[in-house]
Amino acid sequence: RKEVEQDPGPFNVPEGATVAFNCTYSNSASQSFFWYRQDCRKEPKLLMSVYSSGNEDGRFTAQLNRASQYISLLIRDSKLSDSATYLCVVNTDKLIFGTGTRLQVFP
Amino acid sequence: GAGVSQTPSNKVTEKGKYVELRCDPISGHTALYWYRQSLGQGPEFLIYFQGTGAADDSGLPNDRFFAVRPEGSVSTLKIQRTERGDSAVYLCASSLIGTGNEQFFGPGTRLTVL
């Protein structure tokens, strides 16, 4: 079983839609959690950290459920510029990346 | 300010050759990381430096891979006797202190082994 599992997608959604990505992790001792965004043929960039209390940054909301070892990312009012791969990342003294979920927003 | 830089951006080599990939981290960042990303996969951890020393090299796939950071700044990833399976994008990242801080990635070196 992979340490971090994500649905690879692609998720094809129209502009303005709400889309949710999920991720599960296997190591219960994981310390911190992140979502990174990676554009095609570019490097990953931190989108947001994920906290147990849930956190929001504009149109993006991240949630962590430690009991279920589950992380989510919600994107509201999708924009064309949101098209990218979203990587779920778990810190276990080193960053462990999921395979990423590809999002394509169409007009 | 300048971000993480990596050279070369692309490297094509023949099976069995030796290659060196360079990473120049953000000034002042003591932690430096190397990752490898294959097509359709997320980055895979290779090695983590804290200052000049390798704090965790558990991700290096075998003894053909070696990395150094002699002065605590620039790092070089060295691959001996390259194999076709080594073809991937090699990403370097740096962070202010350690693994709990945000990591900033360089643009990567795309290595192709023919």
Residues of chain B positioned with their CB less than 8 A from the CB of A57: none
Strands (E) across chain A are located at 4-6, 11-14, 19-25, 32-38, 44-50, 55-57, 60-65, 70-75, 84-91, 95-97, 101-106
Q: Mutation test of the interface with chain A: which of B33, B35, B38, B110, choosing the one with the most A Cβ atoms within 10 A? A: B35
The CA-atom distances, in angstroms, between A69 and each of A8, A47, A55, A72 are 18, 20, 17, 10
What is the per-residue pLDDT for B5?
A: 97
Digit-coded pLDDT (tens) for A37-71? 999 999 999 999 998 888 999 999 999 999 999 99
Residue A67 CB contacts under 8 Å (≥ 6 apart), including other chains:
none
Confidence grade of residue B1 (pLDDT, cut at 50, 70, 90): low
φ, ψ for residue B88, nearest 5 deg = 180, 175
Option in B42, B56, B99 nearest A98 (CB) = B42
pLDDT tens digit sequence for B5-63: 999 999 999 999 999 999 999 999 999 999 999 999 999 999 999 999 999 999 999 99
Q: Do B56 and A93 touch (CB under 8 A)?
A: yes
Torsion angle of C-alpha atoms B7, B88, B29, B47, degrees rounded to 10? -130
Q: Do B45 and A94 touch (CB under 8 A)?
A: yes
What is residue B102's predicted lDDT score, i.e. its pLDDT? 87
Of residues A8, A95, A96, nearest to B103 (C-beta) = A95
The mean per-residue pLDDT over the stretch A21-46 comes to 94
Distance (Å) from the C-alpha of residue B82 to the closest C-alpha of chain A? 23
Tokens, residue A79? 């924009």
Nearest to B42 among A43, A46, A100 (CB): A100
Residues sharing a CB contact under 8 Å with residue A101, sequence separation 6 or more, in sequence order: A6, A7, A8, A9, A11, A21, A85, A86, A88
pLDDT, one tens digit per residue, over B71-95 is: 999 999 999 999 999 999 999 999 9
**Residue found by looking up tokens 């959690």 in the block:** A33
Query: CA torsion A56→A46→A84→B112, rounded to 10°?
Result: -170
